[in-house]
Every structure is written in structure tokens, then in C-alpha cells.
Structure 1
Amino acid sequence: MLRAILKTGLLRRIEVVTLAAVLSVAGALWAFVALASEVMEGDLRAFDEAVLLALRTPGNPADPIGGPQIEVAMRDITALGGVTVLSIVTFAVMVFLVLQRRRASALFLAVAILGGVALSHLAKAGFSRPRPDLVPHGVDVVTASFPSGHSMMAAVTYLTLAVMLARTEGTLRMRAFYLAFAVLLTMLVGFSRLFLGVHWPSDVLAGWTLGAAWALGVWLVARYLGRRGQIEPDRADPA
């Protein structure tokens, strides 16, 4: 009897967590659509300009605040959202999963990241917003501005890697560490794009929201597949 009550309570908790995740995905997608609509209508221009100028020395848009050392650091950080670094980190996590005898999870991870890359390219192709011309660019850029590819792929990759690594952990502390560190890296990459003047703030916000929606969706699919036995189960899943 007690076991049945506990099981019912656990199932209800799982349902609540799943519902919260679904609502979060819907909310992130809604935020992206809202940002895209505002950008297309030009309603965020004043906000975008105010934020970019706040990161520059007053009266001199060519001079970022903090001095040249901060600018160098931001170039290093922005590389964390580039294809090379993201590919290396993803490969390392895939090898880790294989060594943990989670080959199906490693394959699922590869598909999830490639799907995120495809989504990023599709999102870029759907808009032709010019890069900021308000301040000089701190790094070379060639693609359109909306949404921020670095911000989106940082969210897609680091958050997806975090949720897949968290599935291998049974302790809440380690799961929280993976997720918190992934969020930190994602935030830093997005901020670096603003500091270097290569994206409008609304570009970065859009990249974050769409990337987060993708990563949350990946987590939901991973839970579903894990319970069906198609990939290795979540170690902390009470089911």
C-alpha cells in the first residue's frame, strides 16, 4: 500500500515536471516569435541602440568600456560559441557517453546537436537584418544579424550537453552543476557578442530563447525515449 502511494506521488511529480518543461518550451518559442515580430517592425531599435552604447565610452562609440584587456577577454569568450570549440566539446561529451556505455545516448546527442545547427541556419535564412552599424565590430562577421548564431548555438549545444550529462548523474548537486555551468557559458557568449558590437541585444535574446527551447525539447524527447528503452534511462528517474 505504501509503495503504491509513493509510486503515485512520484508519477504525479514527473507529470508536473514534464508539464513545466512543455510550458517552458512554449514560452521560449512565444518569446522568439514576439522578438522577431518586434524586430521586423523596428520597435526595438531604441532599446538595441541604448544597450550597445552603454557598453561604449560616453562620446566615443569606438572605445569599449573596460579597456583593451576586457576586449581581448571577450574575443576569447566569443570563441566558445564558435563552430570549432562547440564541435570539440560535443565530441568530448560523446566520447564520455560511449565510455559510460551509453552509445544510444551518444548517437541521440549527435542528432540533437546537428538538428540544432540546422534550425540555426533556417532561422538565419528567414531574416535579413543587417549587423549593427552603430559601433565598430570587434571581430569579423559575414552572416545576417538575427538571430545571433553564436548565442543560439551556445544555448543549443551547452544546454543540450548539460541535460545529457545530467542524465548520467544520480545526485541533484551534480545535475545542478552541469545545468548552471551551461547557462553561465551561454550567457557569457551572448554578452560577448554585444560587447564586440556584432549583434543587437534583440538578436542575442532571440538566439537564447530559440536555443533554450530546442534544448528543453531535447530533454523531453530524451526522457520519453529513455522510458521506452530506446536510449539509456535517466539515472535519477524514479520510474
Structure 2
Amino acid sequence: MTNPTTAPLAWLRRNVELTSLIVLAAVVGAVWAFAELADEVVEGATRDLDRDLLLLLRNSDDPATPIGPHYLQEIGRDLTALGGVVVLTLAILAAAGFFLLRRQYGTMLYLLIATGGGILVSSLAKSGFDRPRPDLVPHESIVYTASFPSGHSMMAAVTYLTLGVMIARALPQRRLKVYVLIVAALITVLVGISRVYLGVHWPTDVLAGWLGGAGWAMACLLGARLLARRGHVERERSE
């Protein structure tokens, strides 16, 4: 007799097309939300909201000083480094080594292409906008490029969420899948928050980075499922 609590999950597993459509809808939703947000930013409609949210993380008596003790600024710099190119590259190579040791060569190659392509798209996205960095507060981290979207936030979302969904596919137990995805999402969120806390990005820059990166990761999941059907990528494991 089928357990009523697990019946919906079992039904979804049998109807792969439906789950693929759900993932596709999520990708379209993320792209649409990114486009709408970009339009609002270009028109200047988010200026007041960005300003208010940024100042929430600053001392009301001295906006040049972030809230919290001094060591919190160092924590912020440590967290923001998790979205840097060097750290992300190391994470990608470590995950590729995981699949190499499992002899899942198709998945390893797809992982490298997916994450590398996402980071490239993130870099190119900045060239389409020329939004100035926040000038209300001093920057607590060195920056060189324009503000929208947040490169650290988008690259972190692209990398960690894509790594998360790919590693989750290789794990048989549902609780392990959930754990990996939660960790990937948590790191992504912390990187984005650190960018606002350090005063180097407007909140909407970070939100755009999250949307773009999440959309890319979900598109990679959809691509992995399609390739798995053709035998180019190893199939997802499940209990």
C-alpha cells in the first residue's frame, strides 16, 4: 500500500516531463523577474528603496560605519571572498574531482561547462549596464567594475547552486540532497548580504545577481536531465 505522504513524490518521479516543465517554468520566472528588475533599476524606480535598505546596515549616528562590532566587518570580507573568482574556481575544481573519482566523466565535463559558462555570462551581464556603485558610504572592499548586477552574488549563485544541483543528483538519499542544496543556497545568500553590508552594492544589484544565478542553475538542472536521457550524463540517483 502506498504511503499517502510519499505518493505525490512517487508520482512526480514517474512523470519526469511534468517536473521538467516545472523547472522550465522556474527558469522563465527567474529570467522574467531579472528583466523586470533591470527595467526598474534603469528607470531609477528603486533608488529610494536601495538607499533605505543600504542605510539599515549602517550606524544611524555615523553612516560611514557598518552596524555591529568591528570584527563583523572582517567576517563580511571573509564571506564576500566566497564569491571571488579564485575561491569559485577552487570550488568548481574540487567538485569536478569528486565526479572524476566517481568516474562520472560526462557529469564532470557538463559541470565544468555549466559553471564556467555561467561565470562568463555573469561577467558579460555587467557590460550591458553602467550603474554607479553606492556613494552613500565608504566601500569596505576594493571594486573595479559597474554595480548592476552584483558579480559576486551572481557568480556565487551560478557556481554554488549549480554545484549543489549537480552533486545532489549524484546522491541517493533525499536528506543528503536537501542538505547540499541548503548549504549551497545559504552560502549564496551570505555572499550577497556581505556585498551590501560592505557598501559596494545596492540591494537590487544583489537581488538581480541571485535571480540570474538561480535561473542559470535551474537551466543547468534541466539540461542535465535532458542529457541524462540521451546517455551523455549519468542519471540522477534516488532512494
> Deviation per CA, 1:75-122, whole angstroms, max 9, x where unpaired?
000000000110111100100100001011111111001110121122
CA distance in 2, matches of 1:43, 1:9: 44
In the alignment, what sits opposite 1:3?
Answer: none
- Partners of 2:76 and 2:61 in 1: CA distance: 22
Match of 1:133 among 132, 135, 138: 135
Matching residue's letter, 2:178: A
User: Partners in 1 of 2:19 and 2:56 — Cα distance?
Assistant: 39
Q: Which residue of structure 1 lines up, in the alignment, with residue 168 of structure 2? A: 166
> SS of the counterpart of 2:91?
helix
Give the corresponding residue for 1:4. Answer: none
Q: 1:41 to 1:10 in 2, by over 3 A?
A: closer
Q: Residue in 1 aligned with 2:202?
A: 200
- From the superposition, tell whether residues 197 and 18 of structure 1 become closer, same or farther in structure 2 (CA, over 3 Å): same
Matches of 2:22 and 2:14, distance apart in 1: 12
Q: Aligned residue for 1:90?
A: 92
Q: Distance in 2 between matches of 1:210 and 1:111?
A: 17
Correspondent of 1:55 among 54, 57, 60:
57
In 1, the alpha carbon distance for the partners of 2:89 and 2:187 equals: 15
Matched position secondary structure for 2:98: helix
Structure 2 Cα separation of the partners of residues 50 and 59 of structure 1: 15
Quote the offset at 1:235 in angstroms: 1.3
CA RMSD of aligned residues (A): 1.7
Cα distance in 1 between the residues matched to 2:61 and 2:104:
56
Match of 2:37 among 35, 38, 48: 35
- Per-residue deviation, 1:144: 0.5
Partner of residue 219, structure 1: 221
Instruction: Give how far 1:168 is off.
Output: 0.8
Offset of 1:13 from its aligned partner?
3.5
Question: How many residues in Structure 1 have an aligned counterpart in Structure 2?
Answer: 232
What is the one-letter code of the residue matched to 1:119? Answer: V
SS at match of 1:20: helix
Paired with 1:61 and 1:10, the residues of 2 have a C-alpha distance of 51
Point out where structure 1 has 5 or more consecutive residues left out of the alignment. 1-7
Post-superposition shift, 1:12?
Answer: 5.3
* Contact 2:119–2:159 (CA under 8 A) maintained in structure 1: no
Identity %: 52
Residue 229 (1) aligns with residue 231 (2)? yes
CA contact (8 A) 2:12 2:19 kept: no
Task: Name the counterpart of 2:19.
Answer: 17
Amino acid of the residue matched to residue 58 of structure 2? R
Match of residue 116 from structure 1: 118
**Secondary structure of the structure 2 residue equivalent to 1:63:** coil
TM-score scaled by length of structure 1: 0.94
Q: How far did 1:30 drift? A: 0.7
Alpha-carbon distance in structure 2 between the residues aligned to 1:41 and 1:24: 26
**Distance apart, 1:167 and its partner CA:** 1.1
Q: What is the CA–CA distance in structure 2 between the aligned matches of 1:166 and 1:160, rounded to whole Å?
A: 10
Measured in 2, the distance between the counterparts of 1:159 and 1:44 equals 27
Q: What is the CA–CA distance in structure 2 between the aligned matches of 1:65 and 1:48, rounded to whole Å?
A: 17
* Comparing 129-138 and 13-22, the one that deviates more: 13-22
Worse-matched range after superposition: 130-139 or 113-122: 113-122
Give the aligned residue type for 1:216.
M
Whole-angstrom distance in 1 between the partners of 2:177 and 2:110: 19
Matched residues in 2 for 1:219 and 1:115: separation? 14
1:158 deviation in Å? 0.2
Runs of 4+ in 1 over 2 A off after TM superposition: 8-16
